[in-house]
Amino acid sequence: MIASTVGGIFERELNKLAEEIKLYTPEQSIWKVKDGIKNSGGNLCLHICGNLQHFIGTVLGNSGYVRNRDKEFADTNVPVTELLKEIETTKKIVVKTLESIPDEDLDKEYTAFPAHLLGKEHITKFYFLAHLIAHMDYHIGQINYHRRLM
């Protein structure tokens, strides 16, 4: 129940991401960067999807997704329709994976990410899921700000 509840939070926030992506006008502005802004809204969207599909889909759900983090930040001019499809795919994988995790597994150690990068010696799966929500929402906020600047 806890994992599926967390899945509901991811679903809600990925819906917010899709809404932000749809608000870019003109559509091409999603790929622009200026005034010291390093990442475009499009690249941040790809990064969120790659991050979640890897750390939840592959690591926890054995989805078979192979991440290319460098490509997340290098791609340009991906149509908004493709970004929205990627968000939808990510949402389905995340929700399906989290619905399949028994609550007792959330207390088990998560070893696919170096805990010391989060200031810990060890992290649980639940702790890392909370970290992923915070990470995703940080980038959604950046996307919102980027969109308004463009």
What confidence tier does 34 reach under pLDDT thresholds 50, 70, 90?
A: confident
Distance between alpha carbon 119 and the CA centroid of its chain, in Å?
21
Q: Which of 25, 78, 23 is nearest to 47 (CA)?
A: 78
Poorest-pLDDT segment among 1-5, 48-52, 88-92, 106-110: 1-5
- Average pLDDT of the segment spanning 12-33: 97
Q: How far is CA 67 from CA 14, 89, 139, in A?
A: 18, 14, 18
Q: Report the pLDDT value the prediction gives residue 1, as an integer from 0 to 100.
A: 82
Please tell me the CATH code under which domain 2-149 is placed.
1.20.120.450
Domain map of the chain by residue range? 2-149
**pLDDT tens, position by position, 83-114:** 999 999 999 999 999 999 999 999 999 999 99
Spatial CB neighbours of 25, under 8 Å, sequence gap ≥ 6: none
CA torsion sign for 120, 8, 58, 106 is positive
Reported pTM = 0.96
Q: Report the pLDDT value the prediction gives residue 36, as an integer from 0 to 100.
A: 85
Q: Report the pLDDT value the prediction gives residue 81, as an integer from 0 to 100.
A: 97
- Average pLDDT of the segment spanning 138-150: 96
| Cα gap 85→89, rounded to integer Å | 6
| Cα gap 39→140, rounded to integer Å | 12
| Cα gap 67→150, rounded to integer Å | 29
Q: Report the pLDDT value the prediction gives residue 35, as an integer from 0 to 100.
A: 82
